[in-house]
């Protein structure tokens, strides 16, 4: 693995890239080699919630499922927040049971996500995907034990440069999510910001990958 794409919705099947492809229970694709699976707050359907959770639990017991998610909280949608919290917490129970990291979608609800992690005593790694906020928010999340993943906004928002530079090297990942740019392009900018060459960044993220995704299997 030269490159690790922490979160993507597009499987590109490149031999030098390990892609953690986002999957939803109702649209599960057996042909994708490595994936996360979760109930996104946008797509909560109470009529099939039990079925979705059952599918998730089944897939979480396979080696190809590396993480739960994306799941989380989003205050900018019409889905009731109490329902979102309930579904999120049910997924965290599964994450703890099967020792899987959690890929988190969080919009305007960072304090709630931090509080849930603390109150539920979540021990598995929780990674905020697509981080785009200021250093104050980043610092709160890092202090609370979260990891941060950067991609789209790192490429599009120069103000994120100093935030990214300040994130400890053992607490971040890189991703493409839904953008057209490749993970290699994200690595190129990230290596420039961090003052590493590509090989050094690849080695660093490989260590982060092993610490998060392989340690839990032991």
- Residues of the chain falling short of pLDDT 70: 215-218
Predicted local confidence at residue 15, as pLDDT: 94
Tell how strand 102-107 and strand 65-74 pair up: parallel
> Hey, what domains does the chain have and what are their CATH numbers?
3-217 (3.20.20.140)
Predicted local confidence at residue 217, as pLDDT: 59
pLDDT in tens, 171-211: 999 999 999 999 999 999 999 999 999 999 999 999 999 99
């Amino acid at each position: 693995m030269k490159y690790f794409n922490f979160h993507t919705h597009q499987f590109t099947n490149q031999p030098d890239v390990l892609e953690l492809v986002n999957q939803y229970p109702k649209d599960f694709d057996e042909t994708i080699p490595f994936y996360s699976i979760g109930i996104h707050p946008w797509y909560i359907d109470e009529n099939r919630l039990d079925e979705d959770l059952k599918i998730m639990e089944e897939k979480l017991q396979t080696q190809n499922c590396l993480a739960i998610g994306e799941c989380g909280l989003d205050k900018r949608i019409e889905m009731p927040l109490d329902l979102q919290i309930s579904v999120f917490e049910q997924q965290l129970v599964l994450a703890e049971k099967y020792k899987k990291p959690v890929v988190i979608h969080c919009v305007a609800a960072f304090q709630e996500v931090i509080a849930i992690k603390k109150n539920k005593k979540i021990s598995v790694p929780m990674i905020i995907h697509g981080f785009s906020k200021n250093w104050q928010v980043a610092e709160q999340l890092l202090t609370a034990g979260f990891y941060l993943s950067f991609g789209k906004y790192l490429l599009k928002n120069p103000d994120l440069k100093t935030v990214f530079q300040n994130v400890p090297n053992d607490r971040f990942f890189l991703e493409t999510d839904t953008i057209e740019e490749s993970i290699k392009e994200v690595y190129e900018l990230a290596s420039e910001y961090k003052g590493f060459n590509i090989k050094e960044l690849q080695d660093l993220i490989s260590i982060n990958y092993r610490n998060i995704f392989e340690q839990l299997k032991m």
